[in-house]
Amino acid sequence: MAELLEYLARRLVDEPDAVRVDQIEEEGLLLLRLHVAKDDVGKVIGRQGRIARSLRTIARAGSVRERRRVQLEIVD
């Protein structure tokens, strides 16, 4: 799941080398922290949060197979 999010984020931003996804596991929850360059945060969030919402939907859809909750945070 982290690889997919990283791939998608790299296609959206101007500085793809700055994209990184950290995975943190907590009591049945997988926290994915998407790190991007400070100037690219708006591109990953999108207008009215549409792109961020889509990325979170993709993460949740992928987590159904693993039967765990997934939460996505966008960090600069």
53-74 confidence digits (pLDDT tens): 999 999 989 888 878 889 999 9
Read off the CATH number of the domain in which 57 is found.
Answer: 3.30.300.20
**Which residue carries 């793809």 as its tokens?**
16
Q: State the pLDDT at residue 32.
A: 94
Q: State the pLDDT at residue 26.
A: 86
The answer to whether 6 and 27 have CB atoms below 8 angstroms apart is: no
Its sign, for the CA torsion 57, 61, 62, 66, is positive
Residue type at 46 in one-letter notation: G
Q: Domain range for residue 36?
A: 2-75
pLDDT digit string, tens, across residues 23-54: 999 888 999 999 999 999 999 999 999 999 99
Q: How many domains does the chain have?
A: 1
Cα–Cα dist 24/42, whole Å: 24
Using the predicted structure, report yes or no on whether residue 11 has a pLDDT greater than 90.
Answer: yes
pTM: 0.89
Residue 46 gets the label, from left (phi > 0), alpha (psi -120 to 50) or beta, of left
